[in-house]
Amino acid sequence: MQAVFSEKLFQLKVILWLLTACWVVAQDEDIVRTCTDYKTSLFVETQEFSLLYEGAPIIRKTRDKCKAYAPVIIGGAPAIPKEFPHAARLGHRDDEGKVNWFCGGTLISNRHILTAAHCVLSFEGTINIVRLGELEFDNNKDDAQPEDFGVQSRIVHPGYDHPVIYDDIAILKLDRNVTFNEYKHPACLPFTDGRKSSSFIAIGWGQTALVPRRGSESSKILKKVKLFNFNTRCKLTAEINEELPNGYNASSQICIGSHESSQDTCNGDSGGPVLTIHKQYPCMYHVEGITSVAVACDTPDFPGMYTRVHYYLDWIKKEMAKP
């Protein structure tokens, strides 16, 4: 009896090990490594010291400062300082220097911003200014380090074909490198396709370019909201129209929604991220989705469609590698 049991247990262990191995193999090595490098560059402190005799070895002591930020509340709340150092706000600066901020984005390297194609090709104007390190606009006393960057190039996914909103993904290359600190630091690309994530965090200052909110007024402070994975529900709720001629595409889109009916917290900025927290590093986030088709925010349980970033990893890596 005992022997049979332990053999069964062994078999179970082998199966579990194989499953884990497959899962690990399925992850993209470069992306995993880059993510760890980003985390280490900011959250791991190395101190070197040596004892006071000649030829004493150098001793290195590392301190890991990576810890979780404030919990994300369902229904939404203002972000706290340094909570989302990858949050970008994108805008158009006219000849007189007046800026119209109309979309969000995510810092994913020291030079690149991930956003939506419909933002880059928006009727609001060409994105020529990117603000990083911001928390509350028009407030100099908040704990933030805002810095504006110009845009060197804009890469829109070749599959994007307005007004159809499939392949709603684009990359901006900034005009100079971002120096990382606690206020400006990238999010990691996703390790998985997000199908197993039950919830996400959407952030933004509150622009929705596609469906303007009733009485819409953007927020000055960055906000966060917890949203849920509605899986294939979008197959039923997505209206077939000129924007979505084939309805919801589960390979390239994530179906995410809220159970609340709060208008100003049902999603983030168009082009901005939906995030998950890194499983080992609670200070790091993955950008799993890009806010794409905004939905009527006053209808609870009516999910929206977000670009599934994982589906586009090869394209993103290829474009980021270009000089």
The yes-or-no answer on residue 270 being catalytic is yes
* CA nearest neighbour of 91 among 120, 65, 61, 54: 120
Instruction: Return all residues near 161 (Cβ < 8 A) that are at least 6 apart.
Output: 167
d(CA 23, CA 162): 36
Binding ligand NAG (rule: CB under 6 A), the pick from 38, 84, 166, 191 is: 166
Torsion of CA 205, 80, 63, 177, to 10 degrees: 30
Give yes or no for a contact between 121 and 162, defined as CB atoms under 8 angstroms apart.
Answer: yes
252 versus 307: smaller Cβ distance to ligand NAG: 252
What's the closest the beta carbon of residue 266 comes to ligand NAG, in angstroms?
25
Catalytic residue among 86, 112, 118, 310: 118
CB 317 within 8 A of CB 303: no
Least separation in angstroms between residue 159's CB and ligand NAG is 6
To ligand NAG, the closest distance from the beta carbon of 113 in angstroms equals 15
Catalytic one among 269, 270, 278, 310? 270
Active site residue 262: no
CA distance 85 to 76: 18
Q: What is the largest CA-CA distance in the chain?
A: 83
- Which residue, 205 or 311, has its beta carbon nearer to ligand NAG? 311
Nearer to ligand NAG, 249 or 262 (CB): 249
Smallest distance, ligand NAG to C-beta of residue 178, A: 9
Segment (H or E) for 151: strand 151-156
Query: Among this protein's residues, is 86 annotated catalytic?
Result: no
Least Å from the CB of residue 243 to ligand NAG: 14
| Whole-Å CA distances, 18 to 104, 238, 281 | 40, 38, 24
- Choose between 108 and 275: whose C-beta lies nearer to ligand NAG: 108
State which of positions 236-265 bind ligand NAG (CB under 6 A): 246, 249, 251-252
- Token pair of 141 as six digits: 């006393």
Residue 36 interacts with ligand NAG (CB under 6 A): yes or no: no
Which residue among 110, 192, 218, 262 contacts ligand NAG (CB under 6 A)?
110
Using the minimum distance from each CB to ligand NAG, give the nearer residue, 157 or 223. 157
Cis peptide before 300 (omega within 30 of 0): no
Residue closer to ligand NAG (CB basis): 126 or 177: 177
Half-sphere exposure of 52 (CA within 13 A, CB side): 0
Q: How far is the CB of 91 from ligand NAG (least distance, A)?
A: 24
Name the active-site residue from 157, 168, 185, 286.
168
Tell me how far apart the alpha carbons of residues 289 and 169 are, in angstroms, rounded to a whole number. 10
Q: Nearest CA to 272 among 260, 258, 259, 285?
A: 285
Residues that bind ligand NAG (CB under 6 A): 110, 159, 166, 177, 246, 249, 251-252
Active-site positions? 118, 168, 270
